[in-house]
Structure 1
Amino acid sequence: MAEHTLDAIDRRILAALQENAHATMEEISTRVGLSPSPCARRVRQMEASGVIKGYVAVVDQQKVGLPISVFASIRLERQREDELDRFSRAILRWPEIVECYLMTGQRDYLLRIVVKDLPAYEAFLKRTLTRLEGVASIESSFALSQVKHAQALPIE
């Protein structure tokens, strides 16, 4: 896909979409000061180039019965490329892991795991992470409350 260089209008379009991806093209074009046709063309270009990866509904994890967020720091026995790749592929199978980052420092990965309660986390830990070959240690931290959770990137 071709590289897409963002100009000021593209950034305003992205800000509008991040605020409300359900907005009509007319609403977005009015907000950014462009007519609907060129605005829609810009959105399609950003979709085609991968700047816009998709559209999702933001779901309240409390209201769907998944109030527990656990941050698990994972250290592997070895940090060879094949071992890192194997771990990365393995964690893609589990929907409870909603975020995963390869890290610098003392730990190799940081995971955010969402579950309904502590027994659910214990069961998940026992049947998944502790069974992965090459995992040297797992350190879990439980979030007490969420101070900020932003979906929108600060692109303007």
Structure 2
Amino acid sequence: MQDPRTPLDPTDIALLDRLQRRGNATAQELGDTLNLSASQAGRRRQRLEDNGTIQGYRARLDPIRLGLHVQAFVQVQMARHGTEQSADFSRLLRTRQEITSAWTMTGEADYLLRVWCPDLPALNKLIHDVLLAHPTVARVHSQIVMDQPKDDSPLPVA
């Protein structure tokens, strides 16, 4: 099996680290940080975008300012397993804006969902009227986030 990793030199690693912390950095700012010209920094960034190491850029938004006061992790256990059931449930996940991340898991839960809702009634509605109402869902277990002592952080690139 071929190793899918991209070969990275120390400058690439520093560039990726900087972009994870400030994705809107200009080529000039990257060059200044990395002791490169703006064009060299821009070419390195472009190469890492072209080979798929950099998948995109996003703005981090404040959920409270958007009226999203409840974050929860929801474990979903399926009643039946199969290609059709998985595809059907995956379609449901893609249609719900409040589900911001979803993972398939080993262990008792088949899926782990990260959800953001404006309030507890909205979370209750999502769980009861959407998830538990789905024909292949057997059980749902939710955990409401009380605090997040560590924000989502950059990937370790070194």
Alignment TM-score > 0.5, same fold: yes
Report deviation, 1:26: 1.1
Distance 1:147 1:63 in 2: 19
Distance 1:5 1:51 in 2: 10
Does the CA-based 8 Å contact 1:17-1:23 persist in structure 2? yes
Unaligned runs of 5+ in 1: none
| Letter matched to residue 145 of structure 1 | D
1:35 is the counterpart of 2:37: yes
Distance 1:34 1:109 in 2: 44
Give the match for residue 82 of structure 1: 84
**What RMSD over aligned residues (CA atoms) do the two structures have, in Å?**
1.7
| Letter matched to residue 102 of structure 2 | C
TM-score (norm 2): 0.90
Residue identity over aligned pairs, in percent, reads 32
For residues 85-133 of structure 1, the C-alpha deviation after alignment (integer angstroms, 9 at most, x for no partner) is 3222220111100111111111100001100110111122233112212
Report deviation, 1:63: 2.1
Unaligned runs of 5+ in 2: none
Does the CA-based 8 Å contact 2:127-2:140 persist in structure 1? no
Task: Please state whether the residue corresponding to 2:73 is helix, strand or coil.
Answer: strand
Does the CA-based 8 Å contact 1:3-1:49 persist in structure 2? no
1:10 is the counterpart of 2:12: yes
Distance 2:5 2:144 in 1: 40
TM-score (norm 1): 0.91
Give the match for residue 128 of structure 1: 130
Distance 1:54 1:43 in 2: 11
| Letter matched to residue 24 of structure 1 | T
